Every structure is written in structure tokens, then in C-alpha cells.
Amino acid sequence: MSLVSVGLNHHTAPVELRERLAFADPGLASAALTKLAGVEEGVVVSTCNRAEVFAMVQADDAEGLVAGFVSAHHGVPKDAFADHLYVHYELEAARHLFTVATGLDSMILGETQILGQVKDCYLAAKERGATGKVLSELFERALRTGKRGHAETVISQNAVSVGYAAVELARKVFRSLEGRRTLIIGAGQMSELVAKHLEAGGLNHVVVANRTRERAEEMAARFGGRAVPFDQVPAELVQADVVISSTSAPGFVLTTEAVRAAMRSRRARPLFLIDIAVPRDIDPACHGVENVFLYDIDDLQAVVEANLEDRKREVGKVQRIIEEELKSFGTWLSSLDAIPVIRSLRDKAEGIRRVELERALARLPELTEKERGVVEAMSSLIVNKLLNDPTLKLKELAASDDGRTYLRAARELFNLKLGGEGERR
């Protein structure tokens, strides 16, 4: 049996191909995979950025077997995606999964969503009975590795999108966003995206001002807010805590004079202005107005870039966690190689014990049932004590670099015949 992972992702395949090979129900797909001859366990991981199959396979051409499954499942010829596939075996397959779980392989470095997606796919496969000893252990360790990566480093901290950067900056101004009022000027997608992030951060009381009243009302309804005519912006400016402006106006929508006038009525309450329009909507001179915090799209992007650099500096720390977990998994995986040998050794010893026990008891017909029981228990105890140390040592040696040599020597020494030759797991 071999551990193998076969897949493609945003590094190797265009979105058009990833769409064709996305698994609508990874749990069902995992179960279908294990119905193939030669596949003992299977977990399909499918997200918008990757479609990957992890499997325990007994086949000379594991890659071909899994690729054939993907082709048949989606009705897509193998030639259409073969050049985009990557294949990993044994510990390299585990390393790949650990890298995915920590977010190092994600489009946005260090993102945490993938850890939940990996967990969902694993649990779906488990629920369908598609996992066994090896893949269960592998995925449990992958989830633990992902959690360690996020908890023990700052790989997932600091915003790496404009929307999150706006939230991060707003929190620096207000500490808490609960109960803050938002004024959105312009009903474009970008301003709505930023507003969604702010809303998720706790900010509410949304007011939308747009030259087209209908669009303002549509966006306001999505936030449970209200729409106002565009000419009411100066009045709303007095009440707002955060202003997001993203219009297509050729000139400034908010002038310094308008902002100064609003600030006179705000009694020193801070005003956070986010200008994500190009050309800019808000006069840059507003930055000089006391208690006004103005950020344009370049400022937000600079925050994103700086935070991304911070995340990149954490990559080495996360990789060290991956290697620690990988070493531990490798030891566990190798120890499984000893199981067939140990089982064969114990079966042989038990067979000998029973034969010799029956022979001895035949020569002692005067023994009572109780005495026969004592003799039998003694024989079992001797065998178990004799095999205890070899059992522990075989498990330990199997995990060493020369593990297979030691196991082969044990088989030769005790003349062991393994049932299902090569079935180490």
C-alpha cells in the first residue's frame, strides 16, 4: 500500500480547468474512489483553488489509477489535465497536505479558510466510510499542523486585502467598531466590498448616498440601512464615523471645506475617510484637518503590501512546524511496517505454545481442571513476556532509516511467513 496525493491547484491549472474538475460533493467522491480495486482509503479535497485526491493505493500505477478516477468522475479526458497534475508519494504527500493546511500553498499566503475546508472534506470522507487508519491519522495531524501554524506564528495575522486593511485601520482609530455609523458615497462594488468587511468587524448604521437613487436603495437594503439623496452628504457627514467613497466623479466629491464644516459640528469626534476612487473623491488636503484620518487606495494597498511582507517573514517558522509534524508522522507511518511482522511472530509463537501445551497436558492426565488452567496461563505468560521486548524493539527499529532491513532480518531469523505479502498497513 502506498500513500499518494494527485491533484492540481491555482499554481498549476487555469480557473477554467479547475472549474471542470471541481468535486461538487467531496464526501461522495471519496466514497466512490474507495470502490475502485486497489484503493483502500480516499479523501477528496476540493475548493475553488484546488482539486486533490489523497489515497492509500495498492497499484503499480497509482497516479494513473487516481487520474483515471478523476477523468471518469468528471467526464473529462485525462489528456485535458494530465500536464497540470502534480503527484506526491508517502511523506511528500503528507508534506503537501500539511503545507495546504497551514495556508502556505494558498493564493493568499497564510489564509485560514483552507484549514476549515480541509477539515470539512476530511469529515465528509470519514462520514462516508472512506477513511481508514492512515488517512485518518494523516488528516488529524494536518489539522493540528494548520492550527499550530496559525497559533504559534503570525502567518495569518495582519490584513492582506483592501477591505481587511480598512477594518484594521478603522480599529486603530476607534478601537471598537460596534455602533459606529457608516456613510457610503457611491454604490459601486468596491465600496460595497469594503463596507462588508467593516460590517463584519462590527460596524453598522449604514447610509448610502448615490446619484442614482435606485442603486442607493438597493445597496442600503443589503446592509439594512437607508438611502439618502446625494445632496445630503454634507449633513450625513456630521453623523458618520466612517466614510467610504468610490464614485466615478471626475473631481472631488468631498472638499476640504465640506469636511472642515462637518468637523465643527462633531465636537472633536474623529472621522475616518476611505477614498477608494480613482480619480480620488476626497481632497487629499483633508488629511490635515484635525481628527480626520484619510486613506486612499494607495495607502490601503501599502498596508496590504507591508502586511504581506510580515506574513512572508513567518513562512520559515511555519515550515519548521511542518517538518516537526512530518517527522512525527513519518515515525508513526514507519512503525506500521512492523505490524505484519509482529503479528506473524505472535501467531507463530501462539501456534507453538498450543501444540506444546496440548502435548504436555496429554502426559499429565491426573491434573485437575484448575491445575490445567494454571499450566495454560503460565504458558501464555511466558510467551507474552518473551515477545514483549522484541515487539517494542521492532516498532522502534521500523521507524529508523534501516527499518526495512531490520524487519527483513526478523522475518529471516524466525522464518516468518506474512499473510498478504507487502501489506504493511
Catalytic residues: 48
Q: How far is CA 56 from CA 72, 200, 339, in A?
A: 19, 41, 17
For residues 236 and 221, what is the distance between their CA atoms, to the nearest angstrom?
18
342 with 391: CB under 8 angstroms? yes
For residues 222 and 196, what is the distance between their CA atoms, to the nearest angstrom?
10
Q: How far is CA 24 from CA 6, 76, 77, 107, 140, in A?
A: 18, 15, 18, 21, 23
For residues 58 and 6, what is the distance between their CA atoms, to the nearest angstrom?
15
The C-alpha cell at 206 is 449604514
Angle made by CA atoms 401, 404, 408, in degrees to the nearest 5: 145
Residue 308, judged by CB atoms within 10 A of its CB (0-12, 13-18, 19+), counts as middle
Question: What one-letter code names the amino acid at 419?
Answer: G
The C-alpha cell at 41 is 482509503
Closest CA to 21 of 89, 94, 73: 73
| Strand order through the sheet with 271-275 | 226-228, 204-209, 181-185, 242-245, 271-275, 292-296
The C-alpha cell at 298 is 494607495
